[in-house]
Amino acid sequence: MFIVEGVENARPRILGGGTSINAGYYSRGEAKFNKEAKLMDDDLIEDSYQWVEEVMVFEPNVWEWQSAFQAGLLEVGVTPDNGFIYDHVVGTKVGGTIFDQFGIRHTSAYFLQYANAESLSVFVHAIAHKILFKTKGTSKSTAYGVEFEDSLGEMHRAFLKGGDHDEIILSAGALGSHNF
């Protein structure tokens, strides 16, 4: 727990990030956001949601107090009642959870089971210093690597090789992520 400008702030400094400490609620993003942000094509977004939901999302047990809360929302006009649904919709709903039927939390670290371990390097406690961009000869900047410091304070550079499945994933909190 850290104090930032007088406000307590829990930070998930763990492989799995926020999914390791959050309330475990799951809902898909709003379709309107995806369209406006032009992030990916709709089929890829749908396939990605389905894959995440198969790996780590479950239909929750709805306890009496949760049913009472939902009934209260409906009574004051927060409608329609959408029941159990992952989609971002207007009204009330029961979304997914990352806790399975035994109460075990499934974090984003569970996705590592699908990785090719021979071509994967995970650096925990590393600090990204610079994203490296190509700018010569193009009208658009393109990232080709990252410069980072490992947990022992040594500097490294990782480069993309240009293959179809070639990627470097930076995962960092937005709030004081460089402080320990």
- The string of pLDDT tens digits covering residues 97-137 is 999 999 999 998 888 888 888 888 888 788 889 999 988 77
111-121 burial by CB neighbour count: b if 16+ within 10 A, else e? eeeeeeeeeee
On whether both 11 and 52 belong to a single domain, the answer is yes
Q: What is this structure's pTM?
A: 0.69
For 167, the domain range is 117-180
At which of 77, 99, 114 does a domain end? 114
Query: pLDDT of 29-64, one tens digit each?
Result: 888 887 787 767 888 889 999 999 999 999 999 999
Q: Are 51 and 101 found together in one domain?
A: yes
Same-domain pairing of 144 and 108: no
Structure tokens at 68: 């009472």
Q: Tell which of 95, 114, 133 closes a domain.
A: 114
